Amino acid sequence: MGLGLEASLKRAGRAALDLVFPPLCIACRVQVGEPGALCATCWLNVQFLDGPMCDCCGLPFELDPGGETLCAACYARRPFFDKARAVMRYDEHSRGPILALKHGDRLDLAPHFTRWLDRGGRALLDETDVILPVPLHVTRLWTRRYNQAAELARALSRLSGKSLNVLALTRSRSTESQGAMRSARARRRNMLGAFRVSPRHKSAIAGRNVLLIDDVLTTGATVEACARALKRAGAAKVFVLALARVVRPLPGDII
């Protein structure tokens, strides 16, 4: 079968499927032109983080300070990761689709979100040797049945052509939900010693630039603990790329 005919058949199949199941906005569920898209209203409401930001943690700045400026938290204490970036602000407009992926079995959203990750994290991807997801503890993975960060990492690896390793970083102990922690300090304490690099996979990490994938950054305590374990295993650099982040700077916090 020629490539042209195959593409035509795929388009015809897609058109037929759209007649039966019209594509809906991933946020508000109104009809849109293609699967995995936002309607015009929701697109305008989502706050993409593509303006001036902290050169390290990616915290957005209201004004452009110029140069490779750090936020107050990163200036006071550099995190273990080298750079962190997020596609959009985590708020009432982005929360629904992200929670649908995380808790609602909407794995069909992962490839669409991945295109946003690819665009928003292109500078990090260009320096990346291997992609890793933030792992879940085996008990939580058993309950949830999948790790949304791993699904995003797999899709991003396919799209970017970068190597993927979902086994190198493990969560060595079960921790309380970070959402139950009242402060950034409590979140950091909760994550101490929670991650380790498998001895069998240290050679895949040592001397390499690692891109860590997560769905949402809140205080950054989880990715900070992951980066600490990766650096101890010999990673040259650790980058973090998330779908969204909470923008709520607090004195001394890693955002």
**Tokens coding 119:** 């665009």
Of 3.40.50.2020, 3.30.565.10, 3.30.1490.100, 3.90.1300.10, the CATH number of 48-245 is: 3.40.50.2020
pLDDT, residue 104, reads: 86
Phi and psi angles of residue 78, each rounded to the nearest 5 degrees, phi first: -70, 135
**pTM beyond cutoff 0.85:** no
Q: How does pLDDT run across 214-240, given as a tens digit for each residue?
A: 999 988 889 999 999 999 999 999 999
> What is the 3 state secondary structure string of 95-121?
HHHHHHHHHCCCHHHHHHHHHHHHHHC
pLDDT for 254 equals: 40
Per-residue confidence band for 29, with pLDDT thresholds at 50, 70 and 90: confident
Mind listing the pLDDT tens digit for each residue in 177-211?
555 555 566 666 666 667 999 999 999 999 999 99
Averaged over 151-180, what is the pLDDT?
Answer: 85
Q: Where are the domains of the chain?
A: 1-45, 48-245
Confidence at 126, pLDDT banded by 50, 70, 90: very high
Q: Are strands 169-171 and 209-217 parallel, antiparallel or unpaired?
A: unpaired
Residue partners of 64: CB distance under 8 A and separation at least 6 = 51, 52
**What are 210's two structure tokens?**
């690692």
